[in-house]
Structure 1
Amino acid sequence: MIFDVFNGKKVLVTGHTGFKGSWLCLWLAELGAEVHGFSLPPNTDPNHYTAARIFELLRSEQSGDIRDKSTLTNYIKSVQPDCIFHLAAQPLVRKSYTEPVETFDTNVMGSIYLMNAVRSLGKPCSVVMITSDKCYENVGKAEGYVEADPMGGHDPYSASKGCAELAVASYRRSFFPPANIAKHGVSLASVRAGNVVGGGDWAEDRIVPDAVRAVTSGRPLEIRSPNAVRPWQHVLEPLSGYLLLAAKMMQTGSALYADGWNFGPKVNSPPVTVAEIIDTFYNVWSKGKAQYDTKTKHLHEAAFLTLSSEKAETVLGWKQQWDVAETMKITAEWYKNYYAGADARELSLADIVAYTKHQEY
């Protein structure tokens, strides 16, 4: 199995206390990696990092802001990572309207500080920079955005991710040219995923955490954009893509993989609305209801957004395992069992086992 390449490797995850970061650390630990983390403390209570006791699985961790370039650089030098997954970010669209400077500073300059630290590392390292599907200039394409589409973004969050992608491309061309990987040793890629869901997310202004808070408090869920379409996927889907890409980068050293990649739903998957997602989620939970607010004027959020993962499917051999119905069933069961007293780490490991059962790489 190609994921065996992580066994014994030093892997640094920034943003390791976040939803995706904590799931990634758990999976890497299961693969035998020596996992290190750099992040601010979790910003919700509960959170997956604490509930699943991710801190017990780490070789080391540093509490810090990704914008603190001195602390970040010194920690990276101390870890001497073979691989870095950069997930530390300000991840919320609506928060970016109230704190645009923090959003750009964190998502753009934080990424630059990390890449600059890699420049001074002085050893081979495979770096996967995680951005967002919202990095693309959204013109309402029905067929999904491809890696060659222009960067853009209406709101500060989306624009910050587009800027981060441009910064990654600049550093790759200027300092880590793929054609010279054998000389400088750094393989630098960027990845964009859809809207991820899964057990253990309690962030603000996300549809599934909002649904969980509503059903556990006995109140209806208020939905502001029931007809919005997003590339919904379980958190393990893009993480499997990140891992596969990093594994191929480490295993081959090929310039082919130092590039931008989409990891979204299956090609030609039917679009699914917010309302349909919540109906499925509450049907599995066997309780909960939603009410739709289509009249109140809200901050701008894209009404339609899809990704094309054809490049990842054809070049990497990556493919999505679970469709939307299965994703929502698994996610709802995680939360339902957690609130019934089940152990968060055991629930998460069971999902990883189920997901990898039919993997072909």
Structure 2
Amino acid sequence: MTKKALITGITGQDGSYLAELLLDKGYEVHGLVRRASTSTLERVAHLTGNPGLRLHHGDLTEGSRLTALLHRIQPDEVYHLAAQTDVRASFDQPEFTGDVTGMGTTRILEAIRLIGLDSRVYQASSSEMFGASPPPQSERTPFWPRSPYGAAKTYAYWVARNYREAHGLFVANGIMFNHESPRRGKEFVTRKITHAVAQIKAGHDRKLYLGNLDAVRDWGYAKEYVEAMWLMLQAEEPSDYVVATGTAYTVREFAEQAFGHVGLEWQRYVRFDDRHLRPTEVDSLIGDASKAAVELGWKPKTRMPELASLMVDEDLRAVIAQRAE
């Protein structure tokens, strides 16, 4: 019997890779798409001809719509990825971030409970929940969020735990450390860097403005991380897992790798701009994913240098393709 999965946030980086993975495994995949004035389907456009993919309009702020969709689809698995994910923007839109990123999770879980679905649920948690807690961070590390986004994700984590413990729902929290790809939005620092490298190499731009170059992050490949999401819902019992590489690099080192990949010296092009600083910074996030390795058999394959290079290559291909048009 064909399994059904619902992915909220299917048009995002993780959602698009997860949809590919599930379709390859023979799932019938349903995706929640938020209505917008411009098309948001770019990342899943190559999948829209697949008969196994079905898209539905909906919004995390609209509980009645979520309940109706879940009742109609009757998914075996729900991957809740949708959120307001821009950490810097969460300082400017704290109420919106709390409503979508935090309460949106409650609406999904409450709908599943009210309908009585036997769905397995993946809840996308974030390393930003750890914030100021010193690394390495594991499932046992106390949360200390340093942004409205981190606080909203912390709420979503605990409400997921509560629905698991109070109502018996199969809910797994995946505490994802930074994971990137050529499909990452250009508002995120890694893609901002690789896109700028391609533009500068092509002669279109001359400078790149960044904020905190000393921030330390644990960067992995999003395409590998969605496999961990799937594995969490195949386990016998639900639990919570850190997903990370265990390696640490600064934003400066990422920029050095990206520029160096095309033979450029990063210092000639990168400039500091305090407008990109957060009111409260998160200095160092480095994950310990040993639990995922032991219980799920998941291990990362791609580290930052290879990741930065493949992202630059893809952005360069996009520049070349635009020239040819």
TM-score by length of 1: 0.80
**2:159 is aligned with 1:167:** yes
Unmatched 5+ stretches in structure 1:
1-6, 177-185, 249-253, 343-361
1:28-107 → structure 2 map (5 Å cutoff): 28-41=22-35, 48-49=42-43, 52-57=45-50, 59-107=53-101
**Displacement of 1:112 after TM fit?**
0.3
Structure-2 residue corresponding to 1:181: none
The 1-side partners of 2:245 and 2:311 are apart by: 16
The 1-side partners of 2:34 and 2:41 are apart by: 13
Q: Is the 8 A contact 1:49 1:55 kept in 2?
A: no
- Decide whether aligned partners of structure 1 residues 34 and 167 sit closer, same or farther in structure 2, where only a CA change above 3 A counts: same
Candidates 176, 194, 205, aligned match of 1:193: 176
- Decide whether aligned partners of structure 1 residues 316 and 66 sit closer, same or farther in structure 2, where only a CA change above 3 A counts: same
Residue by residue, what CA displacement relative to the aligned partner does 1:314-345 show, whole Å, maximum 9, x if unpaired?
22111011122222222222222233339xxx
Structure-1 residue corresponding to 2:277: 298
**Displacement of 1:45 after TM fit?**
7.7
**Displacement of 1:18 after TM fit?**
1.1
Matched residue type, 2:307: T
**Displacement of 1:207 after TM fit?**
2.9
Candidates 180, 202, 208, aligned match of 2:185: 202
Q: Is the 8 A contact 2:127 2:175 kept in 1?
A: yes
The 1-side partners of 2:176 and 2:85 are apart by: 13
The 2-side partners of 1:77 and 1:47 are apart by: 24
The 2-side partners of 1:18 and 1:31 are apart by: 20
The 2-side partners of 1:172 and 1:282 are apart by: 46
Q: Is the 8 A contact 2:207 2:270 kept in 1?
A: yes
Residue by residue, what CA displacement relative to the aligned partner does 1:95-148 show, whole Å, maximum 9, x if unpaired?
101100000011111000000111133342211100211112522x23x11112
Q: Is the 8 A contact 1:18 1:48 kept in 2?
A: no
Aligned length: 314
1:302-313 → structure 2 map (5 Å cutoff): 302-313=282-293
Matched residue type, 2:82: A
Percent identity of paired positions between Structure 1 and Structure 2: 24
Two-structure CA RMSD over aligned residues (Å) = 2.4
**2:308 is aligned with 1:331:** no
The 1-side partners of 2:228 and 2:99 are apart by: 27
Structure-2 residue corresponding to 1:150: 142
- Decide whether aligned partners of structure 1 residues 234 and 223 sit closer, same or farther in structure 2, where only a CA change above 3 A counts: same
